[in-house]
Amino acid sequence: MDLAIKIIMLVLFFGVMVGVGIYCRKNATDVNGFVLGGRSVGPWLTAFAYGTSYFSAVIFIGYAGQFGWKFGIASTWIGIGNALIGSLLAWVILGRRTRIMTQHLNSSTMPEFFGKRFDSKGLKIGASIITFIFLIPYTASLYNGLSRLFSMAFHIDYVWCIIAMSVLTGIYVIAGGYMATAINDFIQGLIMLVGIVAVIAAVLANQGGFMEALNGLAKIEDPAVSSVPGVFNSFFGPDPLGLLGVVILTSLGTWGLPQMVQKFYAIKHERDIKKGTVISTVFAVIVAGGCYFLGGFGRLFNVDVAKNGFDAIIPEMLSGLPPILLAIVVILVLSASMSTLSSLVIASSSTLTIDLLKGNVIKKMDDKKQVLVIRIFVVVFIAISALIAIYQVKSQNESVKFIAQLMGVSWGALAGAFLAPFLYGLYWKKTTKLACWVSFIFGAGIMLLNLFAKPIFPVFLQSPINCGALAMLAGLIIVPVVSLLSPKPDKKLVDEAFACYEKQVPAKQKNSLD
């Protein structure tokens, strides 16, 4: 009976996802419609699409368990940073300007933005190659958070979960494009909101309530981490500097991720930005704050981290939940994974088609052919990521386990390469093409070195989290310094790009004085 309840809920969930994809197929007939939803997506859909693309199963299962174990209840700061920096400030600083300039330049992807903003075909190709290289392993890592949880709930081979998730995500993305993804993200986001609140309440109730759980956390000691009593329920935990590195990577990183920034391209109205800012921030507070808050109590559960790894922590915390609540959790994690997966494959396939193949490999591509090629690459990217995930699960070779850690490397490389050039490109007329190249090379290069030549780094920077945070912060210094030292950009080109901000539009007097 318990298994039947879980299966029925999953079938209903998948049925809704596919139905939305079929319903939205009329909005995906051209590139603008398939990739950006015709730039007419409202605040609720955009905000939820942003939030659900932000928080995947990697966050819920992997990061929440790992950093909750390392930092205790202080890991909640990561969720707060995600809400304030990764959502609120990202919308305030990037939202409007991204929407205005990308429409003015008629760019659908981040590499296309770089190409048109700096009049450089090389920059566009370079950015598309970096995107292609680092989004594939990121996509594959999404499946990692599902393995233990799915096996625990259904007691069947996890490979079937990978196949089902891949096929169904592919169906609704191929059929309905960005609009189907946005509507499904909204539905999946509602599930995530309800699910995380219910899970936290149930887990704490099993520990005797919040105060009892907090008292239990205070009694736990780990000499290998800290000799300070009660450090795991302290304000900043045992490693404040390490905590800051995680906050920077997971919060500031969204500013430079192609699949996140692309959400701003599709906003319809000015008022939608203001509403979307509030909705996205509240969503992040509940989902991200809730995930890391829950993970902070991981040490109260009997988990052999040395043997089973950090990914075993959250599933162990959830193993005692009632069947219906456990089914909700499985759908929650599936929602988090499928929403991020759909966002990543649209970003990957559109970038490869529009920025790399069009005009370079295939000289003539009309709108209809571009949409067809994008759909083909959606299938290819989903298939590759699924095969990598299955290989990782089935392989006994420990050398492939690095794939599970590759999300941190991917995130650091993409944001380290793109964040500063994109931000300065929107705001600063003196930003140069050379500065973009230096940022690209430094951000991607340092993360590749961190992956393949870790010993050359100081101990603190051997962590891909800390190295990724350094790459992002360094880019914010590298771009203005190199821009000031390199030849000035063409004034006519820059003035043309920034002319979009000076366009006169009617506004109500409450928003703009005479």
Q: What is the CATH number of the domain that holds 202?
A: 1.20.1730.10
Lowest mean pLDDT: which of 61-70, 179-188, 326-335? 326-335
- 113 backbone dihedrals φ, ψ, rounded to 5°: -60, -50
Residue whose C-alpha is closest to residue 187's, from 335, 351, 323 = 335
Q: Over 80: is that where the pLDDT of 217 sits? A: yes
Q: What integer pLDDT is reported at residue 288 of this predicted model?
A: 92
Q: Provide long-range contacts, Cβ within 8 A and 24+ apart, for 314-321.
A: 314/60, 314/61, 314/64, 314/65, 314/149, 315/61, 315/148, 315/149, 315/152, 317/203, 318/149, 318/152, 318/199, 318/203, 319/152, 320/206, 321/199, 321/202, 321/203
Q: What integer pLDDT is reported at residue 300 of this predicted model?
A: 87
Q: What integer pLDDT is reported at residue 126 of this predicted model?
A: 94
Measured between alpha carbons, how far is 464 from 410 in angstroms, rounded to an integer?
9
Per the domain annotation, does 509 fall within a domain?
no
Measured between alpha carbons, how far is 48 from 181 in angstroms, rounded to an integer?
10
What percentage of the chain exceeds 70 in pLDDT? 92
Mean pLDDT within 340-361 = 83
Per the domain annotation, does 222 fall within a domain?
yes
Q: Which residues of 307-319 are buried (b: 16+ CB within 10 A; e: fewer)?
A: eebbbbbbbbbbe
CA 509 to centroid of chain Cα atoms: 38
State the total domains in the chain.
Answer: 1
Per the domain annotation, does 128 fall within a domain?
yes
Does residue 344 contact residue 139 with C-beta atoms inside 8 Å?
A: yes
C-alpha dihedral over 152, 153, 156, 157, to 10 degrees?
-60
- The strand pairing partners of 362, in sequence order, are 358
pLDDT in tens, 432-466: 999 999 999 999 999 999 988 888 999 888 888 88
Using pLDDT thresholds of 50, 70 and 90, give the confidence band for residue 512. Answer: low
Lowest mean pLDDT: which of 11-20, 170-179, 359-368, 406-415? 359-368
Per the domain annotation, does 220 fall within a domain?
yes
Q: What integer pLDDT is reported at residue 230 of this predicted model?
A: 82
Q: Is 226 helix (H, G, I), strand (E, B) or coil?
A: strand
Sign of the alpha-carbon dihedral angle for 131, 136, 138, 142:
positive
Eight-class DSSP state of 234: S
Q: What integer pLDDT is reported at residue 289 of this predicted model?
A: 93
Helices (H) and strands (E) in the chain — how many of each?
A: 24, 0
CB-side exposure of 386: number of CA atoms within 13 Å? 22
Measured between alpha carbons, how far is 232 from 132 in angstroms, rounded to an integer?
39
Q: What integer pLDDT is reported at residue 301 of this predicted model?
A: 86
Token pair of 34, please?
């398939």
**Prediction pTM value:** 0.88
Q: Over 90: is that where the pLDDT of 164 sits? A: no
Residue whose C-alpha is closest to residue 20's, from 232, 243, 187, 143 = 187
Q: What integer pLDDT is reported at residue 511 of this predicted model?
A: 57
Q: What integer pLDDT is reported at residue 400 of this predicted model?
A: 44
The more confident residue out of 335 and 261 is 261
pLDDT in tens, 288-321: 999 999 999 988 887 877 777 777 788 888 877 7
Q: Over 80: is that where the pLDDT of 510 sits? A: no
Per the domain annotation, does 510 fall within a domain?
no
Mean pLDDT within 490-496 = 93
Mean pLDDT within 390-396 = 68
Does residue 313 contact residue 136 with C-beta atoms inside 8 Å?
A: no
Q: What is the mean pLDDT of the chain?
A: 85
| 348, amino acid identity | S
Per the domain annotation, does 507 fall within a domain?
no
The more confident residue out of 202 and 337 is 202
Per the domain annotation, does 232 fall within a domain?
yes
Mean pLDDT within 337-345 = 82
Mean pLDDT within 214-224 = 85
Q: What integer pLDDT is reported at residue 404 of this predicted model?
A: 47
Sign of the alpha-carbon dihedral angle for 239, 241, 246, 247:
positive
Per the domain annotation, does 96 fall within a domain?
yes
C-alpha dihedral over 298, 303, 306, 310, to 10 degrees?
-40
Domain span holding position 218: 2-501
Measured between alpha carbons, how far is 113 from 66 in angstroms, rounded to an integer?
36
C-alpha dihedral over 204, 209, 215, 216, to 10 degrees?
-50
Q: What integer pLDDT is reported at residue 399 of this predicted model?
A: 44
| 201, amino acid identity | A
| 123, amino acid identity | L
| 214, amino acid identity | L
Q: Over 60: is that where the pLDDT of 252 sits? A: yes
CB-side exposure of 468: number of CA atoms within 13 Å? 30
| 437, amino acid identity | W
Measured between alpha carbons, how far is 326 from 330 in angstroms, rounded to an integer?
6
Q: Is 490 helix (H, G, I), strand (E, B) or coil?
A: coil
Q: Over 70: is that where the pLDDT of 119 sits? A: yes
Q: Over 80: is that where the pLDDT of 28 sits? A: no
| 65, amino acid identity | G
Does residue 331 contact residue 195 with C-beta atoms inside 8 Å?
A: yes
